[in-house]
Amino acid sequence: MIYGYARVSTGHQSLAAQVERLTAEGCAKVFQETASGSRADRAALKRAIDRLASGDVLIVTRLDRLARSTRDLLNVLEEITRRCAGFRSLADAWADTTTAHGRLMVTILGGLAEFERELIRARIGEGLKRARERGIRSGPMHKLMPHQQREALARREAGDTCAEIGRSFNVSHSMISQLKSER
């Protein structure tokens, strides 16, 4: 079965040209929606992917109708592949997972994206290491000043509950409990 997916970003735009082109390509059903491409929760796209079965193909007129970023595109293509279905973009001939050449291109893109993620992870790790060497502490900052922490601990020792102390400082009871365990 061949399905189509058509999307416009605003209600002022028309889906008609996309629907016409997808129908001409033999799409049995065209899933349509008006939603920003940056939104991850596109209901019609989810319905289209959920409908896919082994051997089915999802077609879009252009890649930008499906995804805003390479990462988003690869996530969608991974879900389509997991369903043993294919994908084609009419305007982007290389984006056709129903052919060997198209699968190769998607694989290369996936490898490049994974390589970039590894580079980012390495840079972050190096930056954190340099920061630790300079004595910079990472992680969440305490919401209570040192004198407030001392007061909270003193009140805890005096028998006040963590919940009472937390309410008075406008923090959670678990934060007060953690203070006690840190000292």
- Tokens matching residue 172: 């959670």
Identify the CA nearest to 34 among candidates 49, 21, 16, 22.
16
Bridge partners (DSSP) of residue 125 are none
Report how far residue 153's alpha carbon sits from residue 162's, in angstroms, rounded to the nearest whole number. 10
Tell me 58's DSSP state: E
Tell me 65's DSSP state: G
Residue 4 has, within 13 A of its CA and on its CB side, a CA count of 23
Active-site residue, selected from the candidate residues 9, 168, 172, 177: 9
Whose tokens are 């319905």? That residue is: 47
9 belongs to the catalytic site: yes
Residues carrying an active site annotation: 9
